[in-house]
Amino acid sequence: MNKIFSIVGVVNYLLVVFLNAFTDLGHKIIIQNTIFKVYDGELQIILTSIVNALILLPFILMFSPSGFLADRFPKNIIMKCSSILAVIITSLITFAYYNGWFYVAFCLTFLLALQSAIYSPAKYGYIKELVGDKFISTGNGSVQAVTTVAILGGIIFYTVLFEGLLGNNFTTKEDVLTIVAPLGWLLVLGSIIEFFLASKLPNKMVLKSKKRFDFRRYFRGEYLYKNIKIVKRKKEVFEAIIALSLFWSISQVVLAIFGEYAKSNLGITNTIIVQGVMALAGVGIVVGSIMAAKLSRYYINMGLVSVGAIGIMIVVFLIPFSESIMFLAFLFILFGLFSGFMMVPLNARIQILSPSIHLGTILAGSNFIQNIFMVSFLFLTTLFAYFGMDAEALFYLMGFVAIYMSIILFKRYLVMTFWTTMKLISIFRHKYHYVGLENIPQTQGVLLLGNHVSWLDWIILQLPMKRQINFMMDKDIYNWKFFHYIFKKGEAIPVSPKASKDAFKEVYKRLNDGKIVTIYPEGGISKSGELGNFFRGYELISKDYDGVIVPFFIDGIFGSRFAKYKPEKKKSFFKRREVTVYFGEPISKETKADELKIIIQNMKDTRT
């Protein structure tokens, strides 16, 4: 994580991202708190939903222009110009506050969101330009964490000041705005500082675009049609956008209805408590984003997405059953944690799979589709509230939407979800280090041969690998009732003494297809902690496949609960075990079993 901060411009960029979110959120909180203080019941839900819709609509309307600008001009310049626009709009908002013009301030929410819509594709597209593919997951995790801290800080900061200034000296919404009007100057100040920092960002645009924007084509919808085609061109990108759209739709409705739920069901009228509980989701997002970045250290970990979706589903169903404000606070932290699990991998996947020339358009398209979903959900929320559906029923409705989201993501990332779940469980007990990963080719077939010391070896080897490993395993274990489907989906290769030749023919086929296959030549888990006899079965594999043999040695798992070797002196249960995997340089495909054992023994003896 620290390496990313040494890149020139990263700290400045993250500060710009922070201030943009902090300022936008500040005005939204002031308007929402005003609604909370003045209105009740269904009308409160309706007005809160409309405010959220005003924030989302510009992302729909500005889909084509914002994408064009992010692809046509340097993204740092787009962010600089957007921050100038923010200074002007926040000045108008402050003027509206002092005059008590509630509906003017209400509508200026749309203009403030408009500059964010212009800014957004450039902001997210700049990540890839600034940090490169190597740190793209860390970059997204950092941006998500900083944005969330800004939202969390903005909610607490502006709500506390709002309550402190307001007191009980009001009767109308106009009174509320006039009393809290000084907060407008903080919005202006934040925008000015954002402009100053944005003007210092380096230009990272490599290929200059000569695109031109034709307003006639825009108004005829030609750009919309063309850009949607670009967005849908890659199925993986489009699927990630749809997943984000469902997630954000659920989140928007939950945030829109929680205030009314807290007021009606729990009797809470203090905005600090209501906004504070929702703000705790921000704490969870920070933690979830950091965890997602770490768990995506070697590759974008898409298994986190379905884990996050299932977690969100459970939380949404639990909220209406909760009558304790402390338990609700805990649930919102979990909601944020699982949100981070979804957002970081999905955003990183969209960016990494999108060609640079269309990155701005695709990110704008992502915003467009997500906001179409969110506005639609908020419209339905408003409609349901108008016809008498209360907040509790709306929570259940969102729970069923979350079930649908979880099912499609679980099916899409089933194998990765399994690996991710195993990883989440194992990292609480172990800390993993990998030496020599560069010795594993990225495209060729790879035959991994090494020691077998625990029931977790297959998990330990898979964790740093972007490509799925095909493990050779005992046929009886492969046919275990509850795991057979997972082993089959994970492309494991069953082997039995009676049909070993067929299994090794399958290994050859997989290697020829450029896959990674792992075989443990010892044939079983070591009971002594020392290398056992190496069987010669792998020597039956034809040698003319396009690939290499890479030896490995797993160290540090001896004596664990998952090993057969138990030393007399046991490690403390509360101390995480350090596990290191050494990958040697590729060796000849003609290497015999006894020679392989010597190589791996030398790796063991010379490990550092």
Q: Which domains does the chain have, with CATH numbers?
A: 2-424 (1.20.1250.20), 429-605 (3.40.1130.10)
Quick one: pLDDT band at residue 499, thresholds 50, 70, 90? low
Map 175-244 to HEC letters: HHHHHCCCHHHHHHHHHHHHHHHHCCCCCCCCCCCCCCCCHHHHHCCHHHHHHHHHHHCCHHHHHHHHHH
End-to-end CA distance of the chain: 24
Closest CA to 276 of 24, 14, 36: 36
Q: In a 10 Å sphere around its CB, with 0-12 CB exposed, 13-18 middle and 19+ buried, how is residue 224 labelled?
A: middle
Give the pLDDT confidence score for residue 228 in this predicted structure: 78
Angle at 338 between CA 1 and CA 266, to 5 degrees: 130
Contact 205, 308 (CB under 8 A): no
pTM of the model: 0.67
The tens digit of pLDDT for each residue in 421-480 reads 877 877 777 888 899 888 998 888 899 998 888 888 888 888 888 888 898 888 888 888
With vertex at residue 93, the alpha carbon angle to CA 90 and CA 94, rounded to the nearest 5 degrees, is 90
Looking at 270-274, 396-400, 469-473, which range is the least confident one?
A: 270-274
Q: What's residue 504's pLDDT?
A: 85
Among 385, 132, 390, 342, which residue's Cα sits nearest to residue 242?
A: 342
* pLDDT given for residue 488 in this prediction: 82
On whether the CB atoms of residues 131 and 4 are closer than 8 A, the answer is yes
Q: What is the pLDDT of residues 316-358, one digit of tens each?
A: 999 888 888 889 989 999 999 999 899 888 888 888 888 777 7
Q: Looking at per-residue confidence, does 13 or 226 come out higher?
A: 13
Which of 180, 128, 120, 188 is CA-nearest to residue 4?
128
Residue 572 pLDDT exceeds 60: no
Per-residue pLDDT tens digits for 402-423: 999 999 999 888 878 887 887 7
